[in-house]
Structure formats: structure tokens, C-alpha cells
Structure 1
Amino acid sequence: MFNEYQQPLIFLESQPMHRLLAIKALQDGLMQKDLAEILGCSKSTMCEVLKGKKRLPAKCLERAKAYLYNDYYKDGERYVFGELND
């Protein structure tokens, strides 16, 4: 039976990187162009990556990992977990 307080069963560790990027960008309120800029790739490449049609370029991989696991954005401002922002 459904309980309105239940959390959805989403197993993120089993998701491919393009889905994780899409979910996190949605959570952070970012558009594809914003995510492309953060990761250092073109808007068209980011579009293809998020559709799962293209792999993330190697040059963007470290930035993608930092975005997924360390950074978060609020109102366009970047924050890093564990750091104090003024």
C-alpha cells in the first residue's frame, strides 16, 4: 500500500552517468547549456550525452565527477560540500 511519506525507490548507483547528470541538473535547476558550461563541453554535445546517444568526452569526465559528487548549485551559485561559502 502506498504511504504519502514513503521515499521513491530509485537506485542511483545502478544508473548510467548521463541519467545521473540529468537528474542532478534538474535538482540544481540547471539547463543543458548551464551543465555544458560547467562540464566544459558544447551545448550540442551535452544534448547528445543527456539523451544517451553520445558518451561524455574524456576531457569533461573529471568535471562531471566533481559536479555529481562534490558540487551543488543554488540560484546559479556554485557550492562545494565541505567548504564554507561567504
Structure 2
Amino acid sequence: MLTPDVAVDLVGESLHLVMLLVAVLSVPGLIIGLLVSLFQAATQINEQTLSFLPRLLITLLVITLAGRWMAGTLMDFCVSIFERAASLVG
């Protein structure tokens, strides 16, 4: 039976998974953006598009390296939700 406690647990698990997957994608880009900004500040280069390409490349690299793990984690979560669906309904 789907009680409020079970619903809160499901939402909590799904939010935790979403935050984990987003962090894996965004944290490396944030770090590279910070490093490029420090480089720009040190050299006084004021080109706004300079930080775009390194962030794009690091994000693509992270997707390439961690994509299989991310997809597997998401698929495992979906399978567990579908397995619990029968017990949640009735």
C-alpha cells in the first residue's frame, strides 16, 4: 500500500539520485570554469567565450567516462521502482 511514508521515501530516493547524477556532470565543469576564470584574472584576458570550450570539453569527457555508470544507476533505480510497484498498489 502506498502510504505517505513510502511516498516520502520514494521521492527522497529519486531526489538523491538526481542530485548525484547532476553533481557528477556539473562539478567538473564548475571546477574548470573556476580555473579558467583564475587564469583570465591573472592574465587580464577579458574574453567571455574563453571559458565555454574547456567546460564543454570536460562535460563531454565526463559523459564519456561516467555515462555507462550513470545510465546503469538510473536503470537500476527504474527497475527497483517497477519491482516495488506491485506491492505499492495493492
Give the TM-score range, shorter chain. Answer: under 0.3
Query: Quick check: which one's helix share is greater?
Result: 2
Specify the structure having the higher radius of gyration (Cα).
2
Higher relative contact order (CA 8 A, sep 6+): 2
Per the normalisation by structure 2, the TM-score is 0.26
Query: Quick check: which one's strand share is greater?
Result: 1
Per the normalisation by structure 1, the TM-score is 0.27
